Amino acid sequence: MRILLIAIVSTFLISTATLAQTDSTFEVKLTIKGVTDCKVYATDFYGGNKTLNSQYEFKNGEVILKGSSSATFMSRITFSSNPQFVKAAPSGGYYPSKAASLWIILYPGARFTVNGSVENKDFIDLYPKDGGENDYLAELNSKMMPLINKSLNARLESVKNKELTVEEKKKLSEEEAAFFKKSVDAKLEFIKKRPNSVAALWIMEDMLIRSEAEPASLEPVLSKVKIKKYGNNNFYQSVKGRLEGAKTTSAGRKCPEIATTDTFDGQPFSDKSMRGKFMLIDFWGTWCGPCMAGIPKMKAFRDKHPEKLQIVGISNDKDEKVWKNAITAKEMDWPNIRIGAGEKDFVSKFNVQGFPTKILVDPTGIILFRESGENEDFYEKIEKIISR
256-310 pLDDT, tens digit each: 999 999 999 999 999 999 999 999 999 999 988 889 999 999 999 999 999 999 9
Bridge partners of residue 45, in order along the sequence:
51, 74
Of the pLDDT bands very low, low, confident and very high (cuts 50, 70, 90), residue 204 is very high
- Regarding beta strands 367-372 and 357-361, do their DSSP bridges make them parallel or antiparallel, or are they unpaired? antiparallel
Cα distance between residue 249 and residue 92, in whole Å: 38
Q: Which residue has the higher pLDDT, 203 or 8?
A: 203
State the average pLDDT for the chain. 90
112-128 pLDDT, tens digit each: 999 999 999 999 999 99
CATH superfamily of 259-386: Glutaredoxin (3.40.30.10)
Q: Which residue has the higher pLDDT, 22 or 359?
A: 359
- Say if residue 10's pLDDT is above 50: no
Q: What is the DSSP string of 95-158?
A: E--GGGSEEEEE-TT-EEEEEEE-TT-SS-------SSHHHHHHHHHHHHHHHHHHHHHHHHHH
Q: Which residue has the higher pLDDT, 17 or 366?
A: 366
CA distances, 219 to each of 27, 205, 354 (Å): 35, 12, 21
Of the pLDDT bands very low, low, confident and very high (cuts 50, 70, 90), residue 22 is low
Of the pLDDT bands very low, low, confident and very high (cuts 50, 70, 90), residue 341 is confident
CA distances, 143 to each of 86, 99, 179, 214 (Å): 20, 11, 11, 22
- Say if residue 15's pLDDT is above 60: no
Asked whether the beta carbons of 29 and 64 are under 8 A apart, the reply is yes
60 Cβ contact list (under 8 Å, min separation 6): 37
- Say if residue 375's pLDDT is above 90: no
